[in-house]
């Protein structure tokens, strides 16, 4: 039996409430469950829910005015054919709908009739109520309905609320069931990340991103925000993991692939490249910091060592001060002095740390730059992280779009040139550190391996970068240029060191002659100074040669390095030549110092009343060293001659390939100028020696002519060469022995100069004393002097220069003129007539008649020479032997040769033809002689 509800009807309802009443009735009827019937609220019959719904649908199906206006506006722009087709379609649709309505009415005719009757009754009653607005039924009905409404609200409000809550719960439950995967996504992704299943986490994230969510559901947005937060942390972790210095390249590729799938805000590959570049620069800075720490530690150790040594010296001094009470304590503040003065960072220990620092810097480049560049090449060639970019999405089009998006992200804003620029900046940092450190190397350790090893390290880095795909071309060129510049700096420092060492060794001349083996059988009796100079030169140039060879190989690869090589070669050539010139200057300074010392000593001896030579001794000389100043000058001459004739040629020819280029014509000029410089210096030093020896010879000649107690105007008959003449010759014998032992190649030149000085000194003294001690010269004195001059000429014949022979002729003419004058004065002075007791009395028998012929004097002198010269040469053969030892026999006069060889043979004196060569009436006296 169906449930029914009875709704009382008020007798009177106002017109304004009629519409609201109808709506409430319809709403109340619709709220009943499906299949339940209700009683007409106006008591007109029973209306089921189905009839009410049909009525409502029918009322709501009628078009509105706005819809009709919209249709009209659309029809204005429609073509006629389209309108006809639309009209035909509307007709067909209308017919179909008409048939459907007819069928609907046919099937539900009873319902329609019942509804129609009920509605008509309601309408008629409402009209009657409206026609009678003051009827009592309206107010009563209103009050009744108000009460019913209040009761209904009290009864059904909790039910309605619970029903609404239930609906909400059911909708939420359905939504939770529908988006269950999405709600679990944050925890699922966290779990996958914690397990290391990064691909699964990315796949879940991309699946969540693909879900189309309703925009009005806020909780879903919060879930997605949580997912985004988790993935943001995940991306940060991936970025952070790429900063690990021990990370494997395969792992980097996987991380980059994951980040590219997550569509990051920045390019992960570029982030990785930047990170690696910063890490390399950081390693370089760490090397610098460690180096500074080591240098400071070593400096502190040296300071502590110095303090310890100073304290020990202080203790020793205080112990000695007990016995020396009056001696001041100068070491009292030694600790303060050591602390106040900073320690210099010099020495092999510091250079060793600098070399280690350069090795570490280079190792960073060699180990990291090639790997970094290979990664960059694989990135920009498309090989990096591409083979593994397999998307979890099964949609091929989505994969293609993703790959396209990844490619755009990788290559749109960066290029391989930017990576090359990063590496070039890193190389610049390396260059600055290398150059600063290289300049700090100490020059005293330049021949040690520290600097050369540093250059080898740079060259090794350059060779490593030249390998395929190891570094960008700009980095390779930068390292080549750095290697060339550092090599040039090293070469220039070697040149500077070579010149400074030349100056240093020149200050420590030991004056010890080296053995003939040490000087490679050189005829020059040199000291160790030229050998030390040669050693410095050879060791330096050998180092330079190695550096130039490597520079030549690099110069073929770059025009800039080629120009740098040319500049370096020219600097080496100039340094090499200047080093020789510096050494020559030092030798000249040594010679000047010896000459000044000799002159000062001679002045001191003269002032003290000593005119004879004394042996020079010194308390601080080395055993076996030369002490005599003349021997020192000869040793300087030997050093100069050795450099001029042997060392300069040998060293220049050995190392000229370092700077020599094809077509170069300056080589002969260089060595010629070098030899000329040494020749000029040799002339200067030889002049010092010969000038000093000429002074000695002059003293000997003065003793020979003036201080021997002989009256040349009344000399006994000639009996041979006097001892005074032999003593005079001994002066030249000593010079011969001295020069032969000290500078043998200069023997002929030196003795030639001194022989000229000998004859010129004779002339000079005769000119000075012709009115004093030599104002008279008789025939015996003339013959004595002529015999002894011929004796000198015979023995010293190999060293008689043309100028010396001219001087000798002049001297003989002066003697002849003086003898003729003296003999004539004697004959005219009758008070001096007496019986002759001399040899040659018969030849001069006509003296009493006042006629003395020059030919007679010359004949007499020649007669004495023929009778006595050979005998005197044999008697004094030891003096002749020393001069013939060093002279070829074909240049020696026969008389001297015979005296030395067999003491027999004809005499062929160079003065035999004097009579024919000398004008009797006007003897020649040439006073303008050199030296």
Q: Do 164 and 236 have their domain in common?
A: yes
pLDDT band at 781 (very low <50, low <70, confident <90, very high): confident
Q: Do 313 and 417 have their domain in common?
A: yes
Can you give the length of the chain in residues?
Answer: 931
Q: Do 379 and 487 have their domain in common?
A: yes
Q: What is the pLDDT of residue 461?
A: 92
Q: In this model, does residue 140 exceed pLDDT 60? A: yes
Residue 728 lies in a domain: yes
Q: How far apart are CA 801 and CA 722, in angstroms?
A: 25
Q: What is the pLDDT of residue 138?
A: 65
> Contact, 750 vs 739, CB < 8 A?
yes
Q: Which of 872, 849, 781 is nearest to 818 (CA)?
A: 781
pLDDT average, residue stretch 109-124: 87
Q: How far apart are CA 644 and CA 323, in angstroms?
A: 59
Beta-carbon count within 10 A of 252 CB: 20
Q: What is the pLDDT of residue 54?
A: 53
Most confident of 519-523, 533-537, 625-629: 533-537
Q: Do 230 and 287 have their domain in common?
A: no
pLDDT average, residue stretch 863-868: 89
DSSP state at residue 647: I
Q: What is the pLDDT of residue 610?
A: 47
pLDDT band at 415 (very low <50, low <70, confident <90, very high): confident
> Higher model confidence: residue 789 or residue 260?
789
How confident is the prediction for the chain on average, in pLDDT?
Answer: 76
Q: Do 433 and 284 have their domain in common?
A: yes
Q: What is the pLDDT of residue 489?
A: 93
pLDDT band at 644 (very low <50, low <70, confident <90, very high): very high
Q: What is the pLDDT of residue 664?
A: 55
Q: How far apart are CA 96 and CA 88, in angstroms?
A: 12
Q: What is the pLDDT of residue 492?
A: 92
> Contact, 779 vs 816, CB < 8 A?
no
Residue 779 lies in a domain: yes
pLDDT average, residue stretch 502-530: 88
Q: In this model, does residue 464 exceed pLDDT 70? A: yes
Q: In this model, does residue 918 exceed pLDDT 60? A: no
Q: Do 359 and 456 have their domain in common?
A: yes
Q: What is the pLDDT of residue 667?
A: 65
pLDDT average, residue stretch 620-647: 86
Residue 632 lies in a domain: no
Q: Do 170 and 214 have their domain in common?
A: yes
Q: In this model, does residue 130 exceed pLDDT 90? A: no
pLDDT in tens, 668-724: 788 899 999 999 999 999 998 888 888 888 988 888 888 767 778 787 888 888 888
Residue 877 lies in a domain: yes
> Higher model confidence: residue 257 or residue 785?
785
Q: In this model, does residue 223 exceed pLDDT 70? A: yes
Cα–chain center distance at 794: 70
Q: Do 481 and 359 have their domain in common?
A: yes
> Contact, 541 vs 658, CB < 8 A?
yes
Q: Do 818 and 724 have their domain in common?
A: yes
Residue 176 lies in a domain: yes
pLDDT average, residue stretch 460-464: 91
Which residues, 6+ apart, have CB-to-CB distance to 580 below 8 Å?
643, 648, 674, 677, 678
Q: Do 875 and 822 have their domain in common?
A: yes
Q: What is the pLDDT of residue 285?
A: 93
Q: How far apart are CA 313 and CA 110, in angstroms?
A: 139
Enclosing H/E stretch for 504: helix 473-506
Q: Do 109 and 161 have their domain in common?
A: no
> Higher model confidence: residue 25 or residue 187?
187
Q: How far apart are CA 492 and CA 502, in angstroms?
A: 15
Q: In this model, does residue 637 exceed pLDDT 80? A: yes
Q: In this model, does residue 366 exceed pLDDT 80? A: yes
> Higher model confidence: residue 772 or residue 611?
772
Domain residues for the domain of 870 are: 708-828+853-883
pLDDT band at 362 (very low <50, low <70, confident <90, very high): very high
pLDDT in tens, 174-186: 777 776 767 777 8
Q: Do 731 and 857 have their domain in common?
A: yes
> Higher model confidence: residue 640 or residue 324?
640
Q: In this model, does residue 574 exceed pLDDT 90? A: yes
How many structural domains comprise the chain?
A: 4
> Higher model confidence: residue 495 or residue 264?
495
Q: What is the pLDDT of residue 878?
A: 78
């Amino acid at each position: 039996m169906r449930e029914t509800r009875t709704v009382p009807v008020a007798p009177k309802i106002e017109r304004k409430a009629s519409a609201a009443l109808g709506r409430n009735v319809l709403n109340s009827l619709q709220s009943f469950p499906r299949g339940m019937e209700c009683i007409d609220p106006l008591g007109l019959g029973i209306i089921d829910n189905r009839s009410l719904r049909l009525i409502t649908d029918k009322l709501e199906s009628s078009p509105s005015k706005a819809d009709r206006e919209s249709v009209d506006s659309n029809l204005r722009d429609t073509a006629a054919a389209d309108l006809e087709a639309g009209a035909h379609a509307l007709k067909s649709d209308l017919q179909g709908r008409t048939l459907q309505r007819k069928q609907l009415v046919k099937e539900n005719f009873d319902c329609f009739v019942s509804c129609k009757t009920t509605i008509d009754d309601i309408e008629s009653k409402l009209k009657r109520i409206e026609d009678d607005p003051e009827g009592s039924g309206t107010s009563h009905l209103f009050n009744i309905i108000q009460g019913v409404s209040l009761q209904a609200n009290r009864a059904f409000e909790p039910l309605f609320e619970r029903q609404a809550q239930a609906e909400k719960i059911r909708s939420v439950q359905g939504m939770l069931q529908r988006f269950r995967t999405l709600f679990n996504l944050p925890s699922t992704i966290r779990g996958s990340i914690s397990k290391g299943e990064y691909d699964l986490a990315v796949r879940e994230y991309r699946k969540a991103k693909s879900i189309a969510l309703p925009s009005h559901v806020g909780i879903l947005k919060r879930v997605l925000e949580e997912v985004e937060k988790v993935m943001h942390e995940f991306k940060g972790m991936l970025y952070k993991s790429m900063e690990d210095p021990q990370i494997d390249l395969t792992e980097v590729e996987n991380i980059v692939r994951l980040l590219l799938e997550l569509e990051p805000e920045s390019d992960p590959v570029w982030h990785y490249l930047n990170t690696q570049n910063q890490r390399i620069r950081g390693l370089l800075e760490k090397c610098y910091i460690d180096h500074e720490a080591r240098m400071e530690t070593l400096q502190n150790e040296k300071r502590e060592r110095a303090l310890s040594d100073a304290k020990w010296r202080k203790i020793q001094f205080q112990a000695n001060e007990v016995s020396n009470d009056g001696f001041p304590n100068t070491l009292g503040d030694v600790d303060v002095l050591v602390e106040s003065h900073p320690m210099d960072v010099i020495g092999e220990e510091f250079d060793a740390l600098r070399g280690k620092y350069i090795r570490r810097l280079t190792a960073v480049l060699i180990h990291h730059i090639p790997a970094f560049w290979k990664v960059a090449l694989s990135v920009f060639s498309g090989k990096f992280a591409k083979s593994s970019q397999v998307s979890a999405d099964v949609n091929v089009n989505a994969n293609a779009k993703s790959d396209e998006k990844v490619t755009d992200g990788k290559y749109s804003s960066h290029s391989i040139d930017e990576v090359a620029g990063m590496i070039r900046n890193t190389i610049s940092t390396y260059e600055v550190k290398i150059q600063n450190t290289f300049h700090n190397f100490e020059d005293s350790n330049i021949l040690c391996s520290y600097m050369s090893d540093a250059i080898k390290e740079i060259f090794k880095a350059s060779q490593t970068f030249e390998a395929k795909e190891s570094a960008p071309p700009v980095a390779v060129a930068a390292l080549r240029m750095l290697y060339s510049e550092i090599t040039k700096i090293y070469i220039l420092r070697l040149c500077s060191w070579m010149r400074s060492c030349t100056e240093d060794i020149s200050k420590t001349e030991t004056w010890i002659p080296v053995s003939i083996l040490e000087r490679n059988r050189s005829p020059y009796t040199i000291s160790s100074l030229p050998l030390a100079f040669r050693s410095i030169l050879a060791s330096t140039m050998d180092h330079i040669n190695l550096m130039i060879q490597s520079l030549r190989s690099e110069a073929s690869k770059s025009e800039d390095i080629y120009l740098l090589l040319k500049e370096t070669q020219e600097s080496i050539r100039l340094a090499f030549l200047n080093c020789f010139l510096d050494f020559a200057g030092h030798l000249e300074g040594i010679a000047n110092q010896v000459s000044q010392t000799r002159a000062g000593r001679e002045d001191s001896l003269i002032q003290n009343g000593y005119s004879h030579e004394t042996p020079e001794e010194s308390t601080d000389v080395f055993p076996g060293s030369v002490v005599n100043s003349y021997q020192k000058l000869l040793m300087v001459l030997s050093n100069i001659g050795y450099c001029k004739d042997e060392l300069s040629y040998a060293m220049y020819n050995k190392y000229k390939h370092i700077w020599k280029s094809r077509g170069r014509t300056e080589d002969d000029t260089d060595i010629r100028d070098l030899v000329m410089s040494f020749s000029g210096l040799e002339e200067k030093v030889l002049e010092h020696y010969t000038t000093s020896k000429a002074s000695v010879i002059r003293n000997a000649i003065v003793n020979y002519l003036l201080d021997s107690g002989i009256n040349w105007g009344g000399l006994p008959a000639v009996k041979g060469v006097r001892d005074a003449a032999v003593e005079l010759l001994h002066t030249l014998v000593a010079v011969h022995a001295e020069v032969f032992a000290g500078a043998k190649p200069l023997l002929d030149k030196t003795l030639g100069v001194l022989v000229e000085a000998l004859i010129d000194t004779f002339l000079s003294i005769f000119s000075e004393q012709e009115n004093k001690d030599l104002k008279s010269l008789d025939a015996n004195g003339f013959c004595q002097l002529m015999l002894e001059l011929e004796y000198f000429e015979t023995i010293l014949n190999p060293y008689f220069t043309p100028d010396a022979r001219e001087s000798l002729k002049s001297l003989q003419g002066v003697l002849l003129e003086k003898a003729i004058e003296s003999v004539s004065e004697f004959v005219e002075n009758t008070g001096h007539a007496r019986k002759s007791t001399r040899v040659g009395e018969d030849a001069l028998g006509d003296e009493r008649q006042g006629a003395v012929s020059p030919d007679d004097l010359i004949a007499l002198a020649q007669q004495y020479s023929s009778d006595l010269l050979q005998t005197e040469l044999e008697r004094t053969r030891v003096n002749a032997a020393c001069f013939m030892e060093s002279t070829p026999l074909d240049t020696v006069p026969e008389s001297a040769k015979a005296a030395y060889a067999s003491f027999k043979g004809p005499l062929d004196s160079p003065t035999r033809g004097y009579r024919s060569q000398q004008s009797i009436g006007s003897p020649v006296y040439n006073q303008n002689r050199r030296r």
